[in-house]
Amino acid sequence: MQHLLFVLNPISGDIDKAPLPDTIRAYCTQRGRTAEFFQTTGEDDLLRLRGWLATTPPDAVFAAGGDGTVSLVAEALSGTAVPLGILPLGSGNGLAKDLGIPLVLDLALALIWDYQIRPLDTLRVGGRFVVHLADLGFNACIVDRFDQGDVRGPAAYVRIATQEYAAYQPATYHIETNQEIWAGEAFMVTLANANTFGSNVVINPDSKPDDGQFEICLIKPFPNAAAPALLYRLYTSGFDDSDYTHRLRCQQALIQVPGADIVLVQLDGEPHYLPNPVTVEILPQSLRVLVPPAKSAE
């Protein structure tokens, strides 16, 4: 990998990125690599990035931002041989945590010369690209309200979640996968190829991101008294141990919310309204990702 492109999101994670290009350029030069920079604007970034990749193809592209920036770069690279690198500079950094990528910039930068390439499945939800997690229900409502507000960061997310929780009415879902049918009320329905939200909630423990299958992780309505135990399980990889959870594993699914024309869905951290029913499919090993090299057994 000689020619590297770094996609910088200036606003992610409320982190000042002004010194970043100089730091990265110096680091690359020391190791005989060249670095170029693409700044996101929040408008037409995917189209512009694809144009850049078509005219000046790099050997790898690093997303320097949060999960939204990682998703943007992953979408541009999916189906190509060019690998995705991640410099985790967001507030949650869910995919970086899942892949064992260091959260400290200096250590993550080492991936430009010391890495292994790991294949990753990606999802299409309502025809749209997802590399990490998508969901319907409670979290999608929170992400939508968060997106409309102008305050960023985990504290704002928790404040909105606490306000919404009291009045939240779970919807009914009819889910047909290529394996089984499930119908009932759910507090939240997560479509997961990955394991962990940026908040460190382990929604899908022990799943493999390159096995050609994804999981539908259901949290059913639960009484207030059950919330602490449920939260404890979500933070300790005990998703399957609760009476209020259930997982379906499949390659394809159709998710229907009876009576709705459109459904609010969170896709890699961004809220979208999608036509009902929502289609979900997996594209096996459609992305190549740079991760730290496996440690040899001593």
Q: Give dist(CA 34, CA 25) in Å, integer.
A: 7
- The verdict on 196 binding ligand ATP (CB under 6 A) reads no
Instruction: Confirm or reject binding of residue 266 to ligand ATP (CB under 6 A).
Output: no
Among 216, 245, 246, 213, residue whose Cα is nearest residue 230: 245
* 3-class DSSP string for 161-203: HHHHHHHCCCEEEEEEECCCEEEEEECEEEEECCCECCCCCEC
Least distance from C-beta 268 to ligand ATP, angstroms?
Answer: 8
Contact region for ligand ATP (CB under 6 A) — 37-45, 51-59, 245-253, 277-285? 37-45
With contacts defined by CB under 6 A, how many residues of the chain interact with ligand ATP? 20
Q: Two tokens at 34?
A: 């060249």
Per CB under 6 A, the list member of 58, 85, 92, 209 interacting with ligand ATP is 92
Question: Helix or strand or coil: residue 296?
Answer: coil
Q: Which helix (H) or strand (E) holds 54?
A: helix 45-55
- CB under 6 A: which stretch of 64-72, 75-83, 205-213, 233-241 binds ligand ATP? 64-72
In the complex with ligand ATP, which residue's Cβ is closer, 42 or 223?
42
**3-state DSSP assignment of residue 237:** coil
User: Does 85 engage in binding with ligand ATP (CB under 6 A)?
Assistant: no
CB 1 within 8 A of CB 32: no
Please give the sequence-ordered ranges of beta strands (E in DSSP) within the chain, or none if there are none: 3-8, 34-39, 60-65, 84-88, 116-125, 128-130, 133-137, 171-177, 181-186, 188-192, 214-219, 245-250, 252-256, 262-267, 270-275, 278-291
If binding is defined by CB under 6 A, does position 190 make contact with ligand ATP? no
Among 65, 85, 209, 277, binds ligand ATP (CB under 6 A): 65
- 205 counts as binding ligand ATP under rule CB under 6 A: no
Report d(CA 99, CA 250) in Å as an integer: 22
Q: Which of 40, 193, 195, 204 binds ligand ATP (CB under 6 A)?
A: 40
Site for ligand ATP (CB under 6 A): which residue of 28, 64, 66, 263? 66
Contact 286, 74 (CB under 8 A): no
Select 92 or 277, whichever has its Cβ closest to ligand ATP. Answer: 92
Q: How far is the CB of 262 from ligand ATP (least distance, A)?
A: 20
Are the C-beta atoms of 67 and 95 separated by less than 8 Å? yes
The least CB distance from residue 80 to ligand ATP, in Å, is 21
Q: Does 42 bind ligand ATP (CB under 6 A)?
A: yes
- For position 139 contacting ligand ATP by CB under 6 A, the verdict is no
The residue ranges that bind ligand ATP (CB under 6 A) are 9-13, 40-42, 65-69, 90-93, 198, 269-270
